């Protein structure tokens, strides 16, 4: 099985560098929602958002409306734009002046193009920015910096079938075979005989980009030419729920009348697209939803919307819109015989927080989301009086030729999180590493190894 040796060297060699990394504080200024923002001139938009249909169809408009409410604006409503999958959110200030935000939802890739040509202030994306996109936007600054890359929600790609389809669980490999045409009859997987009919989002879609990366690319497969393509998530879901032989992939809010199957990756157990498994990003097809902006963003409405999206009020809107909020909660975990004894004991006595810490690729540095999650976890611990001897950190990783090395590296990841929490006065009960135990993804691909390198937080 291939191993990410270079990533291990980076993690091993850079661990000491964590001592030099300052904690990035992302607390939300109270003045953001108290300060009046400018009004529109001649009904022109003050903020333009372009990109992901997953975000733009519902979540972005609801976040804008929430920000408008926080600003005390009146007559908040939306209307269709000039093209399909476009809309305008409008309101007025107390003096009658209009405030207009335009949202175009034609796919994640279009958002980065719009940033480049200046036709949008924020790019909405349902997958991380690509190397080529970051390079083309370098004149605007580093789009991967904490100031530019904002994780506003977690989503999961649900694999959906007709409600009458008896197939209840699929591996990522089987899903790839179904969508590429390598498996063309449901009877092959224990279903009723019938030709498999795949339904997919269009080429501009971040949902499709994520599906290609997580499902098709690992085996070098491509989407079957006969797959039916959709720009609209809702239309795709409705088509699958009307076709007994259909199969599609979709964001969680768009499952609608279809049936979502459980998904397994590598040696992981089949996992349903549940709230907890997606919040921790353990579910094999979990993904992050982003807003990207130029690092030196001068549009006050863009900055206000980003700050609002991260606020408790904004995350409540994320939840009510059908996505997974990043609000930290404690969850009881059921034990099973496949868990290590130490982990089973932890699960019997404690509760797991609904967040995993992950790291920049090939590094022991927490990624942008993890830095914000430090603050979220701290807030939870303070609110529930768990700052002293109530927290256990458990690190995980991918397999190594030397199991002891794998265990040590996994513990070093947990220690990286410990340092961040300790700076804020948290006294840990225990820090441990379980090496390559309990994988959540396949280790024969880089993406899977990255997902397995994680730190869980447990509380007593």
Q: What is the pLDDT of residue 365?
A: 86
Report the sign of the C-alpha dihedral through residues 34, 35, 41, 45, in that order. Answer: negative
Q: What is the pLDDT of residue 157?
A: 93
CATH architecture of 155-278: 3-Layer(aba) Sandwich (3.40)
Q: What is the pLDDT of residue 374?
A: 97
Say whether 88 sits in a helix, a strand or coil: strand
Where do the domains of the chain lie? Answer: 5-24+326-459, 31-148+293-310, 155-278
Query: Which residues fall within 8 angstroms of residue 302, CB to CB, at 6 or more apart?
Result: 47, 121, 122, 293
Each residue's pLDDT tens digit, 294-342: 988 789 999 999 999 999 999 999 999 989 999 999 999 999 888 999 9
Answer yes or no: is pLDDT of 434 > 50.
Answer: yes
Each residue's pLDDT tens digit, 107-131: 999 999 999 999 999 999 999 999 9
pLDDT band at 442 (very low <50, low <70, confident <90, very high): confident
Each residue's pLDDT tens digit, 334-390: 998 889 999 999 999 999 999 999 988 877 789 999 999 999 999 999 999 999 999
Query: Cβ distance 326 to 376 under 8 Å?
Result: yes
Q: What is the pLDDT of residue 35?
A: 63
Q: What is the pLDDT of residue 443?
A: 87
First-to-last alpha carbon distance for the chain, in angstroms, is 37
pLDDT band at 20 (very low <50, low <70, confident <90, very high): very low
Greater model confidence, 289 or 213: 289
Each residue's pLDDT tens digit, 141-174: 999 999 999 999 999 999 999 999 999 999 999 9
> What CATH number was assigned to the domain covering residues 5-24+326-459?
3.30.1330.60
Distance, in Å, from the CA atom of 205 to the CA atom of 198, rounded to the nearest integer, reads: 16
Say whether 201 sits in a helix, a strand or coil: strand
Q: What is the pLDDT of residue 440?
A: 92
Distance, in Å, from the CA atom of 417 to the CA atom of 410, rounded to the nearest integer, reads: 11
Answer whether 31-148+293-310 and 155-278 agree in fold: yes
Query: Mean pLDDT over all residues of the chain?
Result: 90
Please give the backbone phi and psi of residue 151, each rounded to the nearest 5 degrees, phi first: -85, 110
Q: What is the pLDDT of residue 76?
A: 98
Q: What is the pLDDT of residue 362?
A: 73
Q: What is the pLDDT of residue 94?
A: 93
> What is the phi-psi region of residue 358: left when phi exceeds 0, alpha when psi lies from -120 to 50, beta otherwise?
beta
DSSP for 30-66, please give it.
THHHHSPPPPPSTT--SEEEEE-HHIIIIIHHHHHHH
> What CATH number was assigned to the domain covering residues 31-148+293-310?
3.40.190
Say whether 180 sits in a helix, a strand or coil: helix
Q: What is the pLDDT of residue 447?
A: 79
């Amino acid at each position: 099985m291939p191993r990410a040796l270079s990533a291990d060297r980076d993690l091993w060699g850079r661990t000491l560098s964590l001592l030099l990394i300052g904690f990035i504080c992302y607390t939300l200024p109270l003045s953001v929602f108290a300060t009046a923002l400018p009004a529109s001139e001649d009904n022109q938009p003050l903020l333009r958002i372009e990109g992901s249909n997953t975000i733009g169809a519902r979540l972005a408009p609801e976040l804008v409306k929430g920000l408008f409410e926080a600003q005390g604006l009146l007559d908040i409503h939306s209307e269709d734009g000039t093209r399909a999958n476009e809309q305008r959110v409008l309101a007025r200030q107390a003096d009658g002046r209009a405030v207009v935000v335009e949202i175009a939802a034609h796919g994640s890739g279009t958002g980065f193009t719009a940033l480049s040509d200046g036709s949008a202030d924020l790019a909405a994306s349902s997958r991380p920015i690509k190397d080529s996109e970051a390079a083309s936007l370098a004149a605007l600054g580093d789009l991967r910096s904490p100031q530019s890359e904002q994780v506003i929600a977690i989503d999961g790609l649900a694999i959906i079938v007709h409600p009458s389809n008896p197939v209840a669980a699929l591996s990522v490999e089987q899903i790839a075979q179904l969508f590429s045409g390598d498996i063309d009859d449901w009877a092959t997987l224990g279903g009723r005989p019938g030709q498999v009919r795949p339904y997919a989002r269009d080429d501009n879609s971040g949902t499709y980009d994520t599906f290609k990366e997580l499902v098709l690319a690992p085996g070098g497969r491509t989407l079957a030419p006969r797959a039916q393509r959709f720009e609209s998530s809702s239309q795709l879901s409705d088509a699958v729920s009307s076709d007994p032989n259909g199969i599609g992939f979709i964001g969680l809010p768009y499952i609608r009348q279809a049936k979502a199957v459980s998904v397994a990756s590598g040696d992981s157990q089949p996992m349903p697209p549940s709230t907890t498994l997606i919040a921790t990003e353990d579910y094999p097809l979990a993904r992050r939803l982003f807003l990207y902006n130029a690092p030196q963003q001068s549009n006050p409405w863009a900055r206000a919307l980003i700050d609002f999206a991260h606020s408790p009020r904004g995350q409540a809107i994320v939840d009510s819109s059908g996505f997974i909020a990043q609000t930290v909660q404690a969850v009881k975990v059921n034990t099973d015989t496949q868990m290590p004894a130490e982990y089973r004991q932890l699960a019997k006595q404690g509760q797991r927080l609904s967040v995993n810490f992950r790291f920049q690729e090939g590094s022991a540095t927490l990624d942008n989301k993890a830095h914000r999650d430090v603050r979220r976890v701290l807030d939870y611990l303070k609110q529930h009086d768990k700052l002293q001897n109530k927290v256990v950190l458990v690190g995980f990783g991918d397999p190594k030729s030397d199991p002891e090395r794998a265990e040590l590296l996994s513990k070093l990841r947990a220690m990286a999180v410990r340092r961040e929490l300790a700076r804020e006065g948290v006294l840990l009960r225990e820090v441990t590493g379980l090496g390559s135990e309990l994988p959540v993804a396949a280790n024969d691909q880089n993406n899977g190894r990255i997902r397995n390198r994680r730190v869980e937080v447990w509380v007593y």
